[in-house]
Amino acid sequence: MHRRAFVAGGMTVLGTLTECRVARAQSSRKVYRIGMLSVGSSTADMAGPQPRNPTTSSLLIGLRELGYVYGEHFVTEGRSPEGQVERFPSLVAELVRLQVDVIVAAGPALAALKQGTSTIPVVMAGAEDPVGLGVVKSLARPGTNFTGLSNQAVELTVKRLELLKEIVPGGAPVAVLWDPGSLLSWKASNTAAQQRVEAVVL
């Protein structure tokens, strides 16, 4: 994820936490717990105020730039499946048991979060197709406990293939290497261009 996207996500996190604070109307300061679900890192690399994971670090930098101090205003609970996406449901269950105040999650974790909680606010970081996944009702009005950013991968992938066919007309197949844990946008583009495109998914 790019740093800009995570700073924007951080601002969404802060808005969510502020709503929680107002709703609870607590007189004493609460240290909020931000659950984080990553994809390509290790849990150890996401830990603490100076994480080695670049995306977690970007979020913390964004929060710090907005005046929020780790350990004083918030702490993080990072979790990663470490390459085994089938672990997401158990990681979600762990964060729910910890009663975190909000969860920041990459796209591949959203389906597990939808099944795992309907009450904890979830901030999506670069979701492929949150409407298609059923985690929000629409991008304009989510209507659920999910909010955040969509990278519009489905629409953009289809458009890129359409442009490619215009630039290079003809019936030659296009081979595509795709992440098996992130197939929503490929399925949409393959449906749109199934007569001219062949896929190789690794």
CATH number of the domain that 139 lies in?
A: 3.40.50.2300
- Please report the pLDDT score of residue 67 as a whole number: 94
SS (H, E, C) 77-130: EEECCCCCHHHHHHHHHHHHHCCCCEEEEEHHHHHHHHHHCCCCCEEEEEECCH
pLDDT tens profile 76-126: 999 999 888 899 999 999 999 999 999 999 888 999 999 999 999 999 987
- Do 94 and 179 lie in one domain? The reply is no
Q: Which of 150, 169, 187 is the last residue of a domain?
A: 150
* Whole-number Å distance between alpha carbons of 53 and 51: 5
Is 15 in the same domain as 38? yes
Domain count, the chain: 2
In this prediction, residues 50-56 reach a mean pLDDT of 92
pLDDT cut 70: percent of the chain above it: 69
Asked if 86 and 137 sit in the same domain, the reply is: yes
**Which residues span the domain enclosing 107?**
3-150
Confidence (pLDDT) at 100? 97
